[in-house]
Amino acid sequence: MRIAIGSDHRGYQIRPRIVEWLRERGHDVIDVGSHSHEPVDYPDIADVVATKVSQREVDRGILLCGTGLGMCIAANKVRGVRAVPCHDDLTAEMSRRHNDANVLCLSADLLGERLLFRVLDIWLNTPFEGGRHARRVEKIQAIEEEIARELCSKDKPNPMANGSKG
Protein backbone atom coordinates (compact mmCIF):
# COMPACT_ATOMS: atom_id res chain seq x y z
CA MET A 1 0.00 0.00 0.00
CA ARG A 2 1.19 3.56 -0.68
CA ILE A 3 0.99 5.52 2.57
CA ALA A 4 1.76 9.14 3.46
CA ILE A 5 2.54 9.87 7.10
CA GLY A 6 3.06 13.10 9.00
CA SER A 7 3.07 14.45 12.52
CA ASP A 8 3.48 17.67 14.41
CA HIS A 9 6.11 18.06 17.14
CA ARG A 10 4.07 15.83 19.52
CA GLY A 11 4.33 12.84 17.21
CA TYR A 12 7.79 13.36 15.85
CA GLN A 13 9.49 10.83 18.16
CA ILE A 14 7.19 7.89 17.48
CA ARG A 15 6.70 8.63 13.76
CA PRO A 16 10.07 7.21 12.52
CA ARG A 17 9.29 3.98 14.36
CA ILE A 18 5.93 3.77 12.62
CA VAL A 19 7.62 4.44 9.26
CA GLU A 20 10.06 1.60 9.92
CA TRP A 21 7.23 -0.73 11.01
CA LEU A 22 5.28 0.07 7.84
CA ARG A 23 8.29 -0.45 5.55
CA GLU A 24 9.09 -3.78 7.23
CA ARG A 25 5.59 -4.85 6.20
CA GLY A 26 6.19 -3.90 2.57
CA HIS A 27 4.38 -0.57 2.42
CA ASP A 28 5.59 2.24 0.21
CA VAL A 29 5.86 5.17 2.66
CA ILE A 30 6.16 8.93 2.09
CA ASP A 31 7.22 10.63 5.33
CA VAL A 32 6.37 14.35 5.22
CA GLY A 33 7.82 15.26 8.66
CA SER A 34 7.98 17.18 10.91
CA HIS A 35 11.57 16.35 11.75
CA SER A 36 12.23 18.27 14.97
CA HIS A 37 11.00 19.17 18.44
CA GLU A 38 10.23 22.66 17.16
CA PRO A 39 6.52 23.36 17.33
CA VAL A 40 4.77 23.13 13.99
CA ASP A 41 1.11 23.88 13.28
CA TYR A 42 -0.73 20.59 12.78
CA PRO A 43 -3.01 21.89 9.97
CA ASP A 44 0.07 22.45 7.77
CA ILE A 45 1.05 18.78 8.06
CA ALA A 46 -2.53 17.52 7.81
CA ASP A 47 -2.94 19.48 4.57
CA VAL A 48 0.13 17.84 2.94
CA VAL A 49 -0.90 14.27 3.83
CA ALA A 50 -4.61 14.77 3.13
CA THR A 51 -3.89 16.35 -0.26
CA LYS A 52 -1.80 13.32 -1.26
CA VAL A 53 -4.74 11.08 -0.35
CA SER A 54 -7.22 13.35 -2.13
CA GLN A 55 -5.11 13.39 -5.30
CA ARG A 56 -4.62 9.61 -5.11
CA GLU A 57 -0.87 9.96 -4.90
CA VAL A 58 -1.20 7.51 -1.99
CA ASP A 59 -3.85 5.00 -0.89
CA ARG A 60 -3.96 6.01 2.77
CA GLY A 61 -2.71 8.67 5.17
CA ILE A 62 -1.56 8.51 8.77
CA LEU A 63 -1.37 11.60 10.99
CA LEU A 64 -0.18 12.04 14.56
CA CYS A 65 -0.54 14.97 16.93
CA GLY A 66 -0.99 15.23 20.71
CA THR A 67 -4.58 14.00 20.71
CA GLY A 68 -5.08 13.05 17.05
CA LEU A 69 -8.05 15.42 17.01
CA GLY A 70 -6.67 18.60 15.46
CA MET A 71 -5.13 16.59 12.62
CA CYS A 72 -8.46 14.88 12.05
CA ILE A 73 -10.46 18.12 11.92
CA ALA A 74 -7.97 19.65 9.48
CA ALA A 75 -7.64 16.57 7.21
CA ASN A 76 -11.42 16.28 6.85
CA LYS A 77 -11.51 19.70 5.17
CA VAL A 78 -9.75 18.21 2.15
CA ARG A 79 -11.98 16.82 -0.57
CA GLY A 80 -12.36 13.05 -0.65
CA VAL A 81 -10.74 12.57 2.74
CA ARG A 82 -12.44 10.52 5.42
CA ALA A 83 -10.18 10.96 8.43
CA VAL A 84 -10.88 9.22 11.72
CA PRO A 85 -9.40 9.43 15.21
CA CYS A 86 -8.99 5.84 16.40
CA HIS A 87 -8.02 4.87 19.92
CA ASP A 88 -8.99 1.21 20.26
CA ASP A 89 -9.59 -2.00 18.28
CA LEU A 90 -13.24 -1.30 17.61
CA THR A 91 -12.89 2.26 16.28
CA ALA A 92 -10.04 1.08 14.03
CA GLU A 93 -12.08 -1.84 12.68
CA MET A 94 -15.40 -0.05 12.22
CA SER A 95 -13.88 3.03 10.60
CA ARG A 96 -12.65 0.74 7.84
CA ARG A 97 -15.59 -1.69 7.59
CA HIS A 98 -18.32 0.93 7.59
CA ASN A 99 -16.75 4.30 6.75
CA ASP A 100 -13.97 3.33 4.34
CA ALA A 101 -11.72 5.74 6.26
CA ASN A 102 -8.66 6.74 4.27
CA VAL A 103 -6.76 8.76 6.88
CA LEU A 104 -5.97 7.48 10.38
CA CYS A 105 -5.34 10.08 13.08
CA LEU A 106 -3.51 8.86 16.15
CA SER A 107 -2.79 10.42 19.51
CA ALA A 108 0.93 10.48 20.20
CA ASP A 109 0.31 11.51 23.83
CA LEU A 110 -2.56 9.29 24.92
CA LEU A 111 -1.99 5.89 23.29
CA GLY A 112 0.53 3.46 24.68
CA GLU A 113 2.92 2.05 22.11
CA ARG A 114 1.45 -1.46 22.01
CA LEU A 115 -2.04 -0.14 21.55
CA LEU A 116 -0.93 2.33 18.89
CA PHE A 117 0.63 -0.40 16.74
CA ARG A 118 -2.36 -2.69 17.24
CA VAL A 119 -4.75 0.05 16.13
CA LEU A 120 -2.53 0.68 13.12
CA ASP A 121 -2.42 -3.00 12.21
CA ILE A 122 -6.20 -3.43 12.42
CA TRP A 123 -6.85 -0.21 10.49
CA LEU A 124 -4.50 -1.16 7.65
CA ASN A 125 -5.76 -4.72 7.34
CA THR A 126 -9.53 -4.35 7.64
CA PRO A 127 -11.38 -4.12 4.31
CA PHE A 128 -14.36 -1.89 3.55
CA GLU A 129 -17.62 -3.89 3.64
CA GLY A 130 -19.31 -1.99 0.79
CA GLY A 131 -23.02 -2.74 0.26
CA ARG A 132 -25.25 -0.38 2.23
CA HIS A 133 -22.13 1.30 3.62
CA ALA A 134 -21.02 2.25 0.11
CA ARG A 135 -24.31 4.11 -0.36
CA ARG A 136 -23.70 6.04 2.86
CA VAL A 137 -20.14 6.93 1.88
CA GLU A 138 -21.50 8.11 -1.48
CA LYS A 139 -23.85 10.39 0.44
CA ILE A 140 -20.86 11.90 2.24
CA GLN A 141 -19.33 12.54 -1.18
CA ALA A 142 -22.62 14.09 -2.34
CA ILE A 143 -22.42 16.61 0.52
CA GLU A 144 -18.94 17.58 -0.68
CA GLU A 145 -20.16 17.91 -4.27
CA GLU A 146 -23.02 20.15 -3.14
CA ILE A 147 -20.65 22.42 -1.22
CA ALA A 148 -18.33 22.59 -4.24
CA ARG A 149 -21.28 23.44 -6.55
CA GLU A 150 -22.41 26.24 -4.22
CA LEU A 151 -18.92 27.70 -4.17
CA CYS A 152 -18.72 27.59 -7.97
CA SER A 153 -22.10 29.25 -8.43
CA LYS A 154 -21.00 32.11 -6.15
CA ASP A 155 -18.01 32.70 -8.44
CA LYS A 156 -20.14 32.96 -11.59
CA PRO A 157 -20.95 36.53 -12.62
CA ASN A 158 -24.62 37.34 -12.18
CA PRO A 159 -25.91 38.58 -15.57
CA MET A 160 -28.62 40.62 -13.82
CA ALA A 161 -26.17 42.49 -11.61
CA ASN A 162 -25.58 46.25 -12.13
CA GLY A 163 -28.88 46.69 -13.92
CA SER A 164 -27.70 44.69 -16.95
CA LYS A 165 -30.52 43.28 -19.03
CA GLY A 166 -28.21 40.95 -20.89
Catalytic annotation present for 98:
yes
H, E, C per residue of 3-71 = EEEEECCCCCCCHHHHHHHHHHCCCEEEECCCCCCCCCCHHHHHHHHHHHHHCCCCCEEEEEECCCHHH
Given the complex with ligand RB5, which of 6 and 142 has the nearer CB atom? 6
Given the complex with ligand RB5, which of 13 and 141 has the nearer CB atom? 13
42 binds ligand RB5 (CB under 6 A): yes
Largest pairwise CA distance in the chain: 69
85 binds ligand RB5 (CB under 6 A): no
Catalytic annotation present for 86:
no
Identified catalytic residue from 9, 35, 37, 65: 65
Residue of 69, 90, 134, 148 interacting with ligand RB5 (CB under 6 A): 69
With contacts defined by CB under 6 A, how many residues of the chain interact with ligand RB5?
8
65 binds ligand RB5 (CB under 6 A): yes
Residues in CB range of 76: below 8 A, 6 or more apart: 50, 82, 83
134 binds ligand RB5 (CB under 6 A): no
For the chain, the 3-state helix, strand and coil shares in percent, each to the nearest 5, are 50, 15, 40
15 binds ligand RB5 (CB under 6 A): no
Instruction: Write out the catalytic residue numbers.
Output: 65, 98
